[in-house]
Amino acid sequence: MKKEVLDKIIAKPGDKHKVSDFETAYTANLNKKEAKDLLLEDIEALADLQNKLYAHDRYAVLVIFQAMDAAGKDGTIKHVMSGINPQGCQVYSFKQPSAEELDHDYLWRIYKSLPERGRIGIFNRSHYEDVLVAKVHPEIVLNAKLPDVKSAKDINKKFWSRRYRQINDFERHLSETGTIILKFFLNVSKEEQEKRFIARLEDETKNWKFSASDLSERSYWDKYMKAYSDMLTETSTDYAPWYVIPADNKWFMRYAVGKIIRDRILELKPEYPKLSEKAKQEIEEAKQKLLED
């Protein structure tokens, strides 16, 4: 992806960010057809790169999606990963923690779901829920039974700073041990979200996507934007930066995500294992034997 485009959508590590500083309808001067054609090229390239990544078996790729409701997480995963071999890819969706998960630290369920080397793991929501939803609804933190949180006054600036540090340390450890982390915040405008909610209500085939809680969470929009801004500021790092993807135009959003994933895996230069001379000889002998049968 061109540097000038990346400069528009990356949350530069170390800078202070506001979600409002990023455009939701930016398209990098591409039209819908151009973006779709480029996405098809990237899908084809990703299929080949994934095969090499799987055979190379040295890196894992973790793709994280965070967004407001109706931003297009599911559709982006479906379109960008449409050419990927399911054997080398796994998708996890993190919802409200179970009783078992609440009896562990908030990263426990994340560790259990990390991709193995050679595979691409996709998180549809992630550990960032614990600095987003939990920040908007602090009762979630109170219900976690943390030893140092007895009341709402304990959920203060120091608490959140510590949690951001824990997440950064966690991701640093992963990156230093072979996991490439790609973090996408799909940035949809409040106006576009409203249009998509109405579309869900008017189309019977989409009614199932709508929940009354969607409207409830929408009423906290400003608080969520503040939580997302803090997330971008505190957790966009050199080893795991946040890409703030304009999400008002789904066709550009899918192109941008696919292009960034393709480019990053390409940087790893995954290769099929090189066979030893002995192994090559054994293959040749096996081939001759089959031909003689």
pLDDT averages per 10-residue partition of the chain, 293 residues: 92 98 97 97 95 95 97 95 88 91 94 96 97 96 92 95 98 98 98 94 82 87 98 98 98 97 96 87 88 82
What is the model's pLDDT at position 213? 81
**What pLDDT is attached to residue 49?**
96
pTM for this prediction = 0.94
Q: Taking a C-beta distance cutoff of 8 angstroms, is the pair 60, 179 a contact?
A: yes
Instruction: Measure Cα distances from 239 to 89, 181, 201 in Å.
Output: 22, 8, 41
pLDDT attached to residue 288: 87
- Residue 207: per-residue pLDDT: 81
Pairwise CA distance, residues 42 & 126, whole Å:
25
- Domains in the chain, CATH or no CATH each: 3-292 (3.40.50.300)
Which residue, among 57, 7, 55, 46, has the nearest Cα to 28 in the 3D structure? 7
Other CB atoms within 10 A of residue 32 CB:
13
